[in-house]
Amino acid sequence: MEPAKTRAAAHPDGIVDLSVGTPVDPVPQVIRQALVGSADTPGYPLTAGTATLRAAITGWLARACRASGDLGVLPTIGSKELVAWLPTLLGVGPGDRVVIPQVCYPTYEVGVRLAGAEVIRSDSLTAVGPAPVKLVWINSPSNPTGRVLPVEHLRKVVAWARERGAVVVSDECYLSLGWETEPVSVLSDEVTGGDYTGVLAVHSLSKRSNLAGYRAGFVGGDPALVGELLAVRKHGGMIVPAPVQAAMAAALTDEEHVAVQRERYAARREILRSALVKAGFEISHSEAGLYLWATRGEDCWQTVDRLAERGILAAPGAFYGPAAARHVRIALTATDERVAAAADRLADGW
Ligand SMILES: Cc1ncc(COP(=O)(O)O)c(C=O)c1O
């Protein structure tokens, strides 16, 4: 990426960096106040989370994920650390197989490798073959493609995994960002009927609440699996700081700031989508999430270079798996001013 970045940065009006999904809008006041209000916390925080936070997570999962059963819940230090360490924390190791999506967030593979297990990249479980599988990662809405897995697909994955004694982990950190489809959680009653055996959902407040800087995530699902995670994480020192726990509870009990942030992303998405289409890009999937998954039918590095000539930095699809070599990922996380600059540059001809 460095040559493209240097090239884009040389644009006289500055770079428009759409290569990373890092929030740029302010942390909502209600969350900041909760953080500051919990600044005087000299003791060790609870790994399991305060009673207030646990209730906030459970309540949010019941409302937003339509999960009415008896859930285990646990806060995490953002969701990336959990994605990277989950296989290891659940005892997955050498000789075990883990399925990850064909095109996906790179940390799933990192986590499987950290555990010393084998990575199977597949979107089709029938293609996985008869050998045992320990864990299946799914990600809906997907980073980078924005694809949403329908209820029937989620049901099939859960049934398939249960037949084989595998754990299903659904990364749902973009759940609140559905544009053309309303994403469904794996914990939804429609999928599990309130029985979470072998099922976990990973969530993050980074995108929903602009809290990437706080490191605020959580996992919910099978109480036995969550209990196992808690036991290991307690001894591993994987504890969410007390002020962040207070901030998370405030974030999860307020939907107003989520609606405001959604509107910002919706407006930026529309400007970028229309500018890309006019410039000859085809947009694939992208029905939800924080990215536009775009192609010009050429090698992704060529598209990255041509965008960089216009001062725009995009992420090459190849970063997300060998099957994505002709796409680029365009993030919606830039200021309104930078998004408008990108649209102007795209309109200047290709
Ligand atoms: C699919 C997916 N999962 C997890 C994460 C990690 O997010 P965080 O660690 O900020 O919660 C990201 C970040 O971009 C992501 O795209």
pLDDT, tens digit, for every residue of 193-240? 999 999 999 999 999 999 999 999 999 999 999 999 999 999 999 999
Q: How many CB atoms neighbour CB 284 within 10 A?
A: 17
Choosing from 204, 205, 208, 320 the residue with most ligand 1 atoms within 8 A of its CB, the one to mutate for a pocket test is 204
- The strand ranges marked E within 110-232 are 118-121, 135-139, 167-171, 199-204, 217-221
Give pLDDT tens digits for 23-76.
999 999 999 999 999 999 999 999 999 999 999 999 999 999 999 999 999 999
* Backbone dihedral angles phi then psi of residue 204, each to the nearest 5 degrees: -140, 145
Which atom of ligand 1 sits closest to the CA of residue 216?
Answer: 11
Which atom of ligand 1 sits closest to the CA of residue 290?
Answer: 16
Distance 69 CA to ligand 1 centre (A): 26
Distance 100 CA to ligand 1 centre (A): 15
Residue minimizing CA distance to atom 16 of ligand 1? 143
Instruction: Please enumerate in sequence order all residues whose Cβ is within 8 A of that of 128, keeping only pairs 6 or more positions apart, or say none.
Output: 99, 120, 122
* Domains 2-26+257-347 and 29-253 fall in the same CATH topology: no
pTM: 0.97
* Backbone dihedral angles phi then psi of residue 262, each to the nearest 5 degrees: -55, -45
Residue minimizing CA distance to atom 5 of ligand 1? 80
Which atom of ligand 1 sits closest to the CA of residue 21?
Answer: 14
Choosing from 137, 142, 174, 206 the residue with most ligand 1 atoms within 8 A of its CB, the one to mutate for a pocket test is 206
Distance 204 CA to ligand 1 centre (A): 7
pLDDT over threshold 90, residue 127: no
Q: Which residues line ligand 1 (CB under 6 A)?
A: 21, 78-80, 83, 105, 139, 143, 171, 173, 204, 206, 212, 217
pLDDT over threshold 90, residue 126: no
* CATH fit for domain 2-26+257-347, picks 3.40.50.10190, 3.40.50.150, 3.90.1150.10, 2.40.160.40: 3.90.1150.10
pLDDT over threshold 90, residue 349: no
What CATH fold (topology level) applies to the domain 29-253? Aspartate Aminotransferase; domain 2 (3.40.640)
The domain spans of the chain are 2-26+257-347, 29-253
Residue with tokens 């055996």: 197
Distance 36 CA to ligand 1 centre (A): 25
pLDDT over threshold 80, residue 350: no
